[in-house]
Amino acid sequence: MTIDENVAECRAYREERARFNERLQASLEQARRGEIEPMDAESLKDEIRKELTEEGLTD
């Protein structure tokens, strides 16, 4: 793997994590406001991963 490929892979990973964290924060805020049912942490993470995958935003 070249340095450029490695850098691109790292950037893609950071962007994926940023999207995940944004979704997680939004879901936590919705739960705090009572707009959605609170979930345990693992269920919430699984749900966000599923949504991002369905939207083609992650592998």
Q: What is the pLDDT of residues 7-48, one digit of tens each?
A: 999 999 999 999 989 988 998 899 889 888 877 778 888 888
- Of the candidates 20, 4, 28, the one whose C-alpha atom is nearest the C-alpha of residue 57 is 20
Domain count, the chain: 1
Whether 7 maps to a domain, the answer reads: yes
Higher-confidence residue of 3 and 36: namely: 3
What pLDDT was estimated at residue 37? 81
Which domain, by its residues, includes 36? Answer: 3-54
Whether 44 maps to a domain, the answer reads: yes
Neighbours of 24 (CB within 10 A): 15
The answer, yes or no, to whether residue 6 has pLDDT greater than 60, is: yes
What pLDDT was estimated at residue 21? 92
Distance (Å, whole) CA 39 – CA 32: 11
Whether 59 maps to a domain, the answer reads: no
Alpha carbon 25 to its chain centroid, in Å, reads 10
Tokens of residue 20, six digits: 């995940």
The answer, yes or no, to whether residue 5 has pLDDT greater than 60, is: yes
What pLDDT was estimated at residue 58? 62
